Amino acid sequence: MSKQILILPGDGIGPEIVTQAVAVLEAVDKQCGLGLQLDYGLLGGAAIDEHGEPCPQVTLDKARAAEAILLGAVGGPKWDTIERSIRPERGLLKIRSELQLFGNLRPAILYPQLAAASSLKPEIVAGLDILIVRELTGGIYFGEPRGIRTLENGEREGYNTYKYSESEIRRIGHLAFDAARKRNGRVCSVDKANVLEATMLWREVMEELSKDYPDVELSHMYVDNAAMQLVLRPKQFDVIVTGNMFGDILSDAAAMLTGSIGMLPSASLDKDGRGMYEPCHGSAPDIAGQDKANPLATILSVAMMLRYTLAAPEAADLVEAAVSKVLDAGLRTGDIHSEGMQLVGTREMGEAVVAAL
Ligand code: IPM
Ligand code: MG
């Protein structure tokens, strides 16, 4: 039976990087006989232009029918002034929530070839391999009530709600502990339990859960300290598990350790391992359409799709090896470029990965 893959190019640099990632996916499909069938849909600004909303029903229907989804990026200045309930980012949040993609895996791996591109000294980041497990469908991103209201004195007030139920904490915890078992057996749970009740419960539930995983070492860290430790001694971490907002922030910080956020893929999984795959970076409207964006985060997201949803680990290995080979050959987009390396555009980088396959 053929496997349906939904492609959502999105906005800004999205279409350019997705074109390259799709070429890689098609090449590896042919090589490994995966029987993939690609379909396309609209999300974000592109969907607003066509349907008047950032995540229309037709996209949701296609997403539900698909085995896996490949997403570029959403958003841009063109839609910055529209009403906030239909902004492009809301489309992304809606599809994550509707499909219950609660488990966001963001690996931060430093390719040895890119040690010079990191903002930190090579000895601090050499060999870096962290997995951030971010809760993606709860916390302050989705908590109700939320809004902007006018107080009795006429002043406006913005408010959001930070909450997590025990079952939400438990399911993301399981994902993190299971991942740690396949890695170096350590989970660091990041919270703000010295101030926020929601994360006091988070810490309690993680402690309870850890009893089921005697082979995994659990530690806790406050988020402010975690941000500091990530730039001070990043290699102390194996798996980091945290809530939606802290995970959003810490994964950007971790990305820069690896040289560029243009290198960071992600997987967003539901309870059955079906998922959406996207680069961690945004739509970069300032360089859109200029053949400058780094397609590697999206290409590496394809590798994650092959590994996590399509159960084709050998195909995932092939894609990752091809990326490594292209870096060995000295090809670099602007974001990871350093002296002596060959500066290439989005298309040339993608074509080199396909050729290396
Ligand atoms: C991310 C992005 C999104 C988020 C935005 C675009 C809504 O920053 O995937 O990290 O905050 O989750
Ligand atoms: Mg983010």
Q: Which residue has a Cα nearest atom 4 of ligand 1? A: 248
Best residue among 11, 74, 89 to mutate for probing ligand 1's pocket (most ligand atoms within 8 Å of CB) is 89
Say whether pLDDT at 45 is over 90.
yes
Fold of 1-102+296-357: Isopropylmalate Dehydrogenase (3.40.718)
| For the chain, domain boundaries | 1-102+296-357
Q: From the alpha carbon of 92, which atom of ligand 1 is closest?
A: 7
Asked whether residue 1 carries a pLDDT value surpassing 70, the answer given is no
Contact 216, 177 (CB under 8 A): yes
Q: Which residues line ligand 1 (CB under 6 A)?
A: 89, 92, 248, 280, 282
Torsion sign (Cα): 41, 168, 258, 88: positive
Q: Which of these ranges, 196-200, 213-217, 257-261, has the smallest mean pLDDT?
A: 257-261
Q: What is the pLDDT of residue 264?
A: 93
List, for residues 66-117, the tens digit of each pLDDT value.
Answer: 999 999 999 999 999 999 889 999 999 999 999 999 999 999 999 999 988 8
Q: How many CB atoms sit inside 10 A of residue 261's CB?
A: 21
Q: How far is the CA of 93 from the centre of ligand 1 (A)?
A: 8
Strand order in the sheet with 103-109: 36-40, 3-10, 68-73, 275-279, 265-269, 103-109, 129-135, 239-242, 186-191, 217-222
- What are the structure tokens assigned to 16, written together? 């350019």
Ligand nearest to the CA of 11: 1
pLDDT at position 207 over 60: yes
Per-residue confidence band for 208, with pLDDT thresholds at 50, 70 and 90 = very high
Q: How confident is the model at residue 3 (pLDDT cuts 50, 70, 90)?
A: very high
For residues 157 and 148, the answer to whether their CB atoms sit within 8 Å is yes
Which residue's CA is minimally distant from atom 6 of ligand 1? 89
248 pLDDT above the threshold of 60: yes
Q: How far is the CA of 308 from the centre of ligand 1 (A)?
A: 21
Rounded distance between C-alpha atoms, residue 225 and residue 246, angstroms: 12
Q: Which ligand is nearest to the CA of 14?
A: 1
Q: What is the tens place of the pLDDT at every residue in 176-199?
A: 999 999 999 999 999 999 999 999
Q: Is pLDDT above 60 for 356?
A: yes
Shortest-distance Cα residue to atom 5 of ligand 1: 89
pTM for this entry: 0.95
Taking residues 226-248, report their average pLDDT. 97
Cα of 252 from ligand 2 centre, angstroms: 6
**Ligand 1 centroid vs 48 CA: distance in angstroms?**
18
Q: Is the previous residue joined to 56 through a cis bond, with omega within 30 degrees of 0?
A: no
Question: Which residues belong to the active site?
Answer: 141, 192, 224, 248, 252
Confidence of residue 27 (pLDDT cuts 50, 70, 90): very high
CA distance linking residue 148 with residue 170, whole number of Å: 31
